A and B are shown apart, each in its own frame.
Chain A
Amino acid sequence: MNDNPQGILMGAVRAVAIFGGIMTLAPMLVMAERRICAAIQNRVGPNRVGPMGLLQPLADVIKLLFKEEIIPDRADRTLFSLAPLLAFAPAAISFVAIPVGRDLQVADLNVGVLYVLAITSLGVYGISFGGWASNSKYSLLGGIRSSAQIISYEIAMGLAIVSVLMISGNIHLGSIVEWQAENGWIIFYQPLAFIIFLVAAFAENNRLPFDMAECESELVGGFHTEYTGMKFGMFFLGEYIAMIVMSSLLVTLFLGGWDPVFFDLPEGAAGTAISVLCFTVKLLAVLFLYIWVRWTLPRFRYDQLMKLGWKAFVPLALLNIVLTGIVVSLLTETG
């Protein structure tokens, strides 16, 4: 960002537009989740509020806002109130570095990948604090599990990204997309890294089959057992926004970001609009996969989860880096 007032104003407009976009997308995602879940389970799903039930998320949020806030008797009140914010805010602010269209992001960071990884990892503090502050054994177990899980999968995810960075030779998210627009999507160069990243993203977002932090059948509600009203709503919204951020990162790193594949983008505003559209379509496809997987697979057991993370994904990701390194160095020497 430069210092002239016009640049700051444009930045603010972009920030509001993109943030508004994800804040709209998150409740719609909740809606989509419920409808797709219903379809998979041969049900109809919520369809009463508004046309085709599209206003259901609005009704949900209104309900959450008007619900009574209950803080458990011996809870750590400060942490208890702080935790939902800690879960929500990192998810929301990590979106700024994602290029949602050609040259369109809130902040054009030259270390975009590192920024997104660093900020999304902060989300686990919200969950752990929430579990700790609730003064409930279920919440505590949920929080502990979540932190252990995220540490294990963060490593695999980071290593998977390293191989992407080796290929594209850049850590700036916009440049990675431009590299893919020229040379094709990275998923075709790095299928293994893609799978590792995808699975680690599920784990990072505490989504089934890795939702050890919630784990309804064992831990009641996990870390948010004791939460009610909008505090619970913040956790909920944060989870879905984190999903959107992870999907965006996936699209940017592996699926060509805003690149429309079949044709070159025209110059000017029209091209930018098309690029945003392409990004959105890809993003929605990945989010559909998230929901689809959630309602297909059963939950992993905790030890299976750890085994998969440390014994399968970390070695595989390391192997992938070594192989990528060899291939890249051979190609650059001859070329």
Chain B
Amino acid sequence: MTEENKNKPERPRRSWSFLLYLPAVAKGLFNTLLHILKLKGHKTFTVQYPEKRQEVRPGFRGEHRLKVDELGREKCVACLMCQTVCPSNCIDIVAEEAPWEDRDKRPKIFEIDMLRCIYCGMCEEACPCDAIELTEKLYTVSTSRAEMIYDKEKLLSN
């Protein structure tokens, strides 16, 4: 390759003040000083965790909740749509006959394995009765694997 590369980009011409470095350094130092002094709208983004907590943004997908209707009955009719759509197979429903007039079934067992759940919100979208939703609850904590499988009572009270 003796020919010169025509696609080679030209080097930007640099002024002597750039080559001194010092003006740029001073500018950078001034910038960080503003950060230290917290002038010009800089603020501390971290919080003192256990005492203060970050605000949860609207639309955050946290733990699930089973909704109840105005009579205090769970809205769920055990149609298994959420169980079917769930990509991580974490929902387990066993249906039983509903004691009420307006529907045929209700869930006898409604369990969500929180260790498997990926919080995608597909169950919420698939539900025809608007019976399941994702809350803004962020701290899914337990001391054993068994506790991480949320049953119907837990989900209703969430």
Contact = CB atoms under 8 A, between A and B. Distances in A.
A195 B25 CA distance: 12
A302 interface: no
Contacts of A195: 22
B29 A42 contact: no
Interface string A294-322: 01110000000000000000000000000
A44 B48 CA distance: 8
B42 interface: yes
A297 B44 contact: no
Contacts of A39: 35-36, 38
B45 A292 contact: no
A40 B29 contact: no
Contact of A296 (B28, B42, B45, B48): B28
A42 B45 contact: yes
Interface string B20-37: 001001001101110110
Contacts, number: 35
Nearest to B38: A39
A42 B22 contact: no
Interface in A11-53: 36, 39-44
Contacts of B42: 42
B43 interface: yes
B144 interface: no
A89 B80 CA distance: 73
A296 B43 CA distance: 18
Contacts of B36: 36, 39-40, 292
Contact of A42 (B31, B33, B43): B43
Contacts of A297: 25, 28
Contacts of A36: 36
A293 B43 contact: no
Interface in A187-214: 195
A42 B35 contact: yes
Interface residues of B, number: 16
Contacts of B54: none
A41 B36 CA distance: 8
A303 to B, nearest CB: 15
A292 B30 CA distance: 10
A41 B43 CA distance: 10
A195 B20 CA distance: 12
Interface string B43-79: 1111010000000000000000000000000000000
Interface in A31-78: 36, 39-44
A44 B49 CA distance: 11
A96 B22 CA distance: 33
Given A195-B22, A297-B25, A42 B32 contact: no
A295 B48 contact: no
B25 A42 contact: no
A296 B42 CA distance: 16
Contacts of B43: 42
Nearest to A35: B36
A202 to B, nearest CB: 11
Interface of B: 22, 25, 28-29, 31-33, 35-36, 38, 42-46, 48
Instruction: Give 5 closest A-B pairs by Cβ, nearest first.
Output: A296-B32, A39-B36, A296-B28, A40-B32, A40-B35
Given A40-B36, A296-B25, 15 more contacts: A39-B35, A39-B38, A41-B35, A42-B35, A42-B42, A42-B43, A42-B44, A42-B45, A42-B46, A43-B44, A293-B25, A293-B29, A295-B32, A296-B29, A297-B28
Interface of A: 36, 39-44, 195, 292-293, 295-297
27 contacts: A39-B35, A39-B36, A39-B38, A40-B32, A40-B35, A40-B36, A42-B35, A42-B42, A42-B43, A42-B45, A42-B46, A43-B44, A43-B45, A43-B46, A44-B48, A292-B29, A292-B32, A292-B33, A292-B36, A293-B25, A295-B32, A296-B25, A296-B28, A296-B29, A296-B31, A296-B32, A297-B28
